[in-house]
Amino acid sequence: MAKRKPEEKIQPHTSQLKKKQALIIGASSDMAVAMSHLLAEQGWNLILAGRNIKDLREQSSDLGIRHKIIAEPLALDLTDGKGIAKKIQSLDGVPELTVCFAGIMQDEDQARTNYETAERILTTNYNGVIHAVNPIAEMLKKEGYGVIAVVSSVAGDRGRQSNYHYGSAKAGLTAYLSGLRNYLYSYGVHVLTIKPGFVRTSMTEGMPLPGPITGSPEKIARDIWKAIRKKKNVIYTLWMWRYIMMIIRNIPEFVFKRLKL
């Protein structure tokens, strides 16, 4: 498709999201559940994508009844290679909003020594998300509007010994989203990168989380929605993580390599 002339640019704005259909990838995540309720309360119809179709069916039915919207499940496994794009392309219509929450964090010692674990972390957090987002981006490009919001992580801002397999996949994802935002801007499609710090979810269950800098899934969902409406490019949630990561990124490498982080 030829690039739009500057005067033809369509600025992405939620007022353009008329059909109000959103695709939620990783819909079983606690943050995604909070986001789904927030969107459904405002009349958005939802497609809930993830691996466990039985649970997603129940989740869809609950949302549909509670909020009087249309919610449907979509079986999607981000380790499914070429099958991912096929699933997305099989959608009936183009969801003008996609929010991707899918991701996994696994034991770092195992990732260092076990091929399958390392592969699962990299494939789910990086390759899989990209293979799901690419076809959505192409569909929205043709429409000339829409929003793609993807949850990356502060862990991608600097590799640390405690989770550098996960962190490097998220760093790659953050770079991909930056490029995608740059690519889609002139087509009127907005890309939001979401970088949560600590969030109380099943992923962090049992971990000692510092209260003041730990968010609830509901707070993260509200921050994401606010960022979509305000056309933010990159958000940290909770907000103080922007400054925490600024400090961490600026520690000189000769000091950083000696720290136990």
Ligand X SMILES: NC(=O)c1ccc[n+]([C@@H]2O[C@H](COP(=O)([O-])OP(=O)(O)OC[C@H]3O[C@@H](n4cnc5c(N)ncnc54)[C@H](OP(=O)(O)O)[C@@H]3O)[C@@H](O)[C@H]2O)c1
Residue ranges binding ligand X (CB under 6 A): 26, 28-32, 50-52, 76-79, 101-104, 124, 128, 151, 153, 196, 198-199, 201-204
Choose between 65 and 203: whose C-beta lies nearer to ligand X: 203
Q: Cβ of residue 198: shortest distance to ligand X, in angstroms?
A: 5
Q: 96: closest CA among 32, 42, 47, 26?
A: 47
Q: Cβ of residue 194: shortest distance to ligand X, in angstroms?
A: 8
Q: Which two tokens stand for residue 149?
A: 């919001």
Residue ranges of E strands in the chain:
21-25, 45-50, 71-75, 97-100, 146-151, 189-196, 198-199, 214-215, 234-237
Choose between 88 and 188: whose C-beta lies nearer to ligand X: 88
SS3 23: strand
Q: Cβ of residue 241: shortest distance to ligand X, in angstroms?
A: 9
Choose between 143 and 218: whose C-beta lies nearer to ligand X: 218
Choose between 145 and 174: whose C-beta lies nearer to ligand X: 174
Q: Cβ of residue 144: shortest distance to ligand X, in angstroms?
A: 28
SS3 179: helix
176 vs 193: CA distance, rounded Å? 10
96 vs 64: CA distance, rounded Å? 19
